[in-house]
Amino acid sequence: MQRNQSTINSAGTVAWGTMRNIPRIVIAGTHSGCGKTTIARGVMDALTRRGLAVQPFKVGPDFIDPTHHTVICGRVSRNLDPFMMGETGVLETFMRASQGADVAVIEGVMGMYDGLEGSDEASTAHVMRVLEAPAVLVVDVRGMSRSANAVVKGFREFGTGAEIAGVVFNRIGSPRHRSMIEASLETRPFGFVPRDESCTVGSRHLGLKMAHELLEDHCIGDLIAKSCDIDALLDAARATPALPDAPVQEPEPESVRIGVAKDEAFCFYYQDNIDRLHGAGASIIPFSPLHDPFPAIDAFYLGGGYPELHARALEGSGFGDAVRKAVDDGMPVYAECGGLIALTRSIRCDNREYRMAGVLPGRSCMTGRIQALGYSDGEWTGGPHYASSGSRILGHEFHYSRVECESDARFAIRLSRGKGIVDGMDGLYVHQALATYAHAYFSPEFARSLVASASAYRRS
């Protein structure tokens, strides 16, 4: 694996220092829906209840699974995404977030080898190589017995074989079902997890329900503790080699206050984005657009989420008037996906139209079917001074809505990959307010620019 040998500085590069050993294991799957999220949650819960400090991670751009990890482990789950972060960024985030942890558990994405455009770029296997971490392969054995071991053999032979430390056979139907699988084992089993639908998490159009919507439940932790060899899993995690450590970078002194929307309607954020803003000198002020008055802040970051589920409450709150006044006053506002919807004139859902903030020249509507799903890659072309013209912006799109823009709409981002708001254009803006459909992974330059814009607004 290639490793960057530079320094963490104002340019955001990394200097790798002494080697540090972090026990780590990846919960990989044969395909989406095989149960890896359930197994990952259960492993995290079982390890945490042993008294271990467990640092959770999620491969890819997912926002929802990390909320469950965070509640279970009591440590903020981080995304590891080589497309958006680069290999150096994956390693740096892993090492930084794992400070003080006894073990790291990394939930994979899709099938273990599934990556960008049929390659393994940004796949679970890619992250495993970067972190030199072994996998527990989760196999859904519904409807098969001996064939499950053929699947495992195929996965081992497709790669090097060494990356799979063991297998969890999921959704075992009966003791007889288990014995038929055991008759032809070729790879060490870490567990045989019986089918138990009571331990699953409900879902909706953007994925599983968020952690804050569910009561605390140790059902899956109990199930994994009883049906899996946690000691063997820990042995595999502890057998991993040491990795080069990155020094801790002290944040810039806090000079501005950046509000971050945090409630049931706005809850999709990459933790690294928040960390980058803090590191650039921002004091982070979380507040609820649904329930709180608009705070005294110098800039506003409005993430994605489910504004369509709370459209009536948003319409009846004072949020729209407050943010519109702030934008008219010149406050820097950056919004993504659900935040974009909230800043348009209205949203049509549930067979009626709800008034939104009216900051941006367009109207939103829920479509009932997916409008965009995948990575985005673009360049800044103008607009608010959040990045220099021509600089790159990487992110991910996933939404079931569209925005119908008015004729005077202006855009700050041109995409080479992804759909954007209209015709490959993203970053709809008015004054210093800018909104995208893409959930961007902030570059150090972007974080510094947003803080600088907030500082200029504060001085004005």
Report pLDDT digits (tens) over 284-296. 999 999 999 999 9
C-alpha to C-alpha distance for 323 and 318, rounded to whole angstroms: 9
What proportion of the chain, given as a percentage, has pLDDT over 70?
Answer: 91
Residue-level pLDDT at 202: 53
pLDDT band at 209 (very low <50, low <70, confident <90, very high): low
C-alpha to C-alpha distance for 233 and 242, rounded to whole angstroms: 18
Residues 6+ apart with CB under 8 A from 376: 393, 394, 395, 396, 397, 415, 417, 418, 419, 420, 426, 437, 438, 440
DSSP 81: -
pLDDT of residue 298 exceeding 90: yes
22, 104 contact by CB (below 8 A): yes
337 catalytic, yes or no?
A: yes
Task: Tell me the pLDDT tens digit for each residue of 426-460.
Answer: 999 999 999 999 999 999 999 999 999 999 999 98
Catalytic-role residue among 73, 337, 349, 405:
337
Structure tokens at 53: 């400090």
Once rounded to an integer, what is the mean pLDDT over residues 333-340? 98
pLDDT of residue 247 exceeding 90: no
pLDDT of residue 395 exceeding 70: yes
**What's phi and psi for 153, nearest 5 deg?**
-60, -40
For 113-229, where are the alpha helices, taking DSSP H only? Answer: 124-131, 147-158, 175-182, 219-227
Residue-level pLDDT at 183: 97
pTM here is 0.91
By CB atoms closer than 10 A (0-12, 13-18, 19+), residue 218 is middle
What is the residue-averaged pLDDT of the chain? 92
